[in-house]
Amino acid sequence: MSLSGACFLIALLTGLFFFAGVFAISKIRKAAASPEERGAAEGDLRHFHIRSIEDEFLREEF
């Protein structure tokens, strides 16, 4: 194997491990997050909307 081929292989493996690490860290952080944080990260704001409707209902009742 030539020197340029070895350098290319090292660069390829380094990039592969870097992106695998970033992917793994994002999965771990997402799994460790609370349900509210997970929903907000995914763009799911239904629980915030439901909570605000319940708050309005309770304000009107009492």
Section 26-55 average pLDDT: 65
Percentage of residues of the chain with pLDDT beyond 90? 34
Q: Of 29, 30, 36, give the one whose Cα is nearest residue 50.
A: 36
Main-chain dihedrals φ then ψ at residue 38, nearest 5 degrees: -65, -45
Q: What is the pLDDT of residue 18?
A: 94
Q: Of 25, 22, 51, give the one whose Cα is nearest residue 39.
A: 51
Return the DSSP state at 44.
-
Q: How far apart are the first and last CA of the chain?
A: 79
Mean pLDDT of the chain: 76
Section 32-39 average pLDDT: 66
Q: HSE on the CB side for 3, CA within 13 Å?
A: 0
In the structure, what pLDDT confidence band is assigned to residue 7 with cuts at 50, 70 and 90?
very high
Section 8-18 average pLDDT: 95
